Amino acid sequence: AYDDDALPIGHGQTISHPSTVARMISLMRAAGSLRHVLEIGTGCGYQAAVLAMCAEQVYTIERVAPLYDLACVNLGQMASVLQKGAAPVHVKYGDGMLGWPDAAPFDGIILAAAGLSVPQVLLEQLSIGGVLVAPVGERVQRLERITRLSTNEWRREVLDAVNFVPLLGGVTQG
């Protein structure tokens, strides 16, 4: 219970180190309060549950059907236990690389998987002043914080070395 490790959750996926989850959320919150947040890669729902304690609305997308089902159960249990103080968490089964345009814009977007780059469609779903935090790279991955400065301008900061599962498009039944 006290180990700071990435743990397998099945289907070739892992839950991030708790310290990495904390670091990513902290980087996202540095720009100010989080009202509307999008998470790409729900997994078992752990990071979405933490985000629910930091934001007013949480949207999260999972592409692996059995993990989507697990996250729905876990987040449903969390909501019934916490009731007060936790934000509503909206869970969607789908391709996270497309984001959630119907719910955009977001004050914060967090990716729980590493791509070679951040999809432009996700950057465009950030509000002005919004922050996206994502692992980027293939063999060597770095955590990046991207802040939207205007309609067509973003500031990118390359930060910590990290190790995440790959960001994949599409959906799978497991």
Place of tokens 């119907």: 102
Is the distance from CB of 71 to CB of 93 less than 8 angstroms? Answer: no
Catalytic residue among 16, 19, 80, 127: 16
Is the distance from CB of 61 to CB of 39 less than 8 angstroms? Answer: yes
Is the distance from CB of 75 to CB of 91 less than 8 angstroms? Answer: yes
> Is 16 designated active site?
yes
Select from 58, 114, 63 the least CA-distant residue to 90. Answer: 58
Active site residues: 16
